[in-house]
Structure 1
Amino acid sequence: MKLILIRHGETEGNYKGLYQGIMDYPLSEEGNLQNLKVKSKLENINVNKVYYSALKRAKKTAEAIFDFSSSTICFEEVSSLNEINFGVWEGKDYKYISKNYSEQFQSFIDDFRTFEFPEGESFKDFYNRVCEGIKKIINASKEEDNIAIVAHGGTIKVILCMLLGFNYEGFYKFNVNHGCYSLITVYKDSAVLEFLNK
């Protein structure tokens, strides 16, 4: 099967450089344009199923790219595809966090794999949540399916790590851009990254 991994369009929070996990900023003007570009790139691909996170920016992106009135596409909201919960860091930028949460921020830098965001989610729980979600999606799909996943940068990086066998260590080895999609072919016991950020 083919997995088409789409990061939502840029939001106003992304533009301002804010930590944005479960906090939902609206799509920026640039984000809306990016979604239209992705729609154009995918117009010749027949998609059977579209799974999108429960956060508004992902659903708005899915609605901009795909026809929700289509009877040939199955649409499903999946909360396990949500971005990580940054807790009290939500809505704050790097400078603020590194200054006001300096000890915790250093712990995050030292080992993100074991870090739990203050009043938020641990990286391990986030990683496992996304992995379980994508396993269910794959198990419910057919070999010939083309499946679109509309989600977040962190979510997509977890999916790439899981399917390509990198585990936690590969998380920061990928940049997942707005306004692009990546494609993975999933086989029974392996997966191949066809391209990244097309």
Structure 2
Amino acid sequence: MRLYIMRHGETEWNVRRLYQGHSDIPLNENGVALAEITGRGLRDIPFDLAFTSPLRRARQTAEIVLRGRDVPLAEEPKLIEIAFGVYEGCTALPTERDPHPDPNLLNFIRDPEHYVAPEGGESIPGLCMRMSAYLNSLIRRRDLQDKTILLSTHGAATCAMLNAIDPPEGFFWRGGVPYNCSYAIVDVIDGEPELVAENQICYAPA
């Protein structure tokens, strides 16, 4: 089994640095373009099937990357992003409307060990448990052992999965928040996942 774990393309909320979580925000024009470039970059990868988060930004990314191919695409609720609850639509940056945002918002990016899940939100340990359980259930599927699979998901969800495979030295975000349309490659041999590459992109970063 080989997994390509991909973060979705750019959205307007990414540009504005708003916390998205379960908010169903579509790709913006640049996000569509990045997915198209990524699809061309991965055109020789023989995907057998794909799973996507139910959120539009992830589904659109998978559909664009796989455009023109006969690759089955199924929604997988467990691939959804961490829920931010009352933080969804907020930013950690000072604004005219909110010059003193909750410092806990910034903790999510800069100090995740001290991030506290807000009302209606999911904790980082909870996300890690969810993604680890999903990954373990996927790699145990006997019918998929010889398959190449695309997983279209989100930034925090991606890091949580990779941390289950290759634990970082104390920092949830590894080298930083994954680029939009970046992907990690994971090989599964005899039921054991091995991280081959991460944060790979098919375009020049800005």
Whether TM exceeds 0.5 here: the answer is yes
Matches for 1:173-188 after TM superposition, within 5 Å: 173-175=174-176, 176-187=178-189, 188=191
Give the aligned partner of residue 92 of structure 2.
Answer: 94
* AA aligned opposite 1:189: E
The CA distance in 2 between the partners of 1:30 and 1:67, in whole Å, is 17
The CA distance in 2 between the partners of 1:195 and 1:95, in whole Å, is 28
Give the aligned partner of residue 130 of structure 1.
Answer: 131
Task: Sort the Cα spacing of 1:191 and 1:90 in 2 relative to 1 into closer, same or farther, 3 A.
Answer: same
Stretches of structure 1 lacking an aligned partner (at least 5 in a row): none
Identity, in percent, stands at: 26
**SS in structure 2 at match of 1:112:** helix
Q: Would the aligned equivalents of 1:84 and 1:121 in 2 still touch at CA under 8 Å?
A: yes
**SS in structure 1 at match of 2:6:** strand
Give the aligned partner of residue 61 of structure 1.
Answer: 61
Q: Would the aligned equivalents of 1:37 and 1:179 in 2 still touch at CA under 8 Å?
A: no
**SS in structure 2 at match of 1:83:** coil
* AA aligned opposite 1:156: T
The C-alpha deviation readout for 1:27-53, integer Å capped at 9, x for no partner, is 111100000011001110100120100
Q: Normalised by the size of structure 1, how large is the TM-score?
A: 0.86
Q: Would the aligned equivalents of 1:88 and 1:120 in 2 still touch at CA under 8 Å?
A: yes
1:159 aligned onto 2:161: yes
The CA distance in 2 between the partners of 1:40 and 1:170, in whole Å, is 32
* AA aligned opposite 1:133: Y
Give the aligned partner of residue 204 of structure 2.
Answer: none
The CA distance in 2 between the partners of 1:46 and 1:190, in whole Å, is 19
Is the deviation greater in 112-121 or in 175-184? 112-121
**SS in structure 2 at match of 1:24:** coil
Task: Sort the Cα spacing of 1:130 and 1:185 in 2 relative to 1 into closer, same or farther, 3 A.
Answer: same
Report how many aligned residue pairs link the two structures: 194
Q: Normalised by the size of structure 2, how large is the TM-score?
A: 0.83
1:7 aligned onto 2:7: yes
The C-alpha deviation readout for 1:71-128, integer Å capped at 9, x for no partner, is xx332211111111111111111125882424x4587666536722232112121111
Give the aligned partner of residue 80 of structure 2.
Answer: 82
The CA distance in 2 between the partners of 1:105 and 1:148, in whole Å, is 31
Q: Which has the higher helix share?
A: 1
Task: Sort the Cα spacing of 1:190 and 1:79 in 2 relative to 1 into closer, same or farther, 3 A.
Answer: closer
1:192 aligned onto 2:190: no
Q: CA deviation at 1:195?
A: 4.4
Give the aligned partner of residue 43 of structure 1.
Answer: 43
Task: Sort the Cα spacing of 1:88 and 1:166 in 2 relative to 1 into closer, same or farther, 3 A.
Answer: same
**SS in structure 2 at match of 1:99:** coil
Is the deviation greater in 42-51 or in 183-192? 183-192
* AA aligned opposite 1:89: Y
Task: Sort the Cα spacing of 1:21 and 1:95 in 2 relative to 1 into closer, same or farther, 3 A.
Answer: same
Q: Would the aligned equivalents of 1:161 and 1:170 in 2 still touch at CA under 8 Å?
A: no
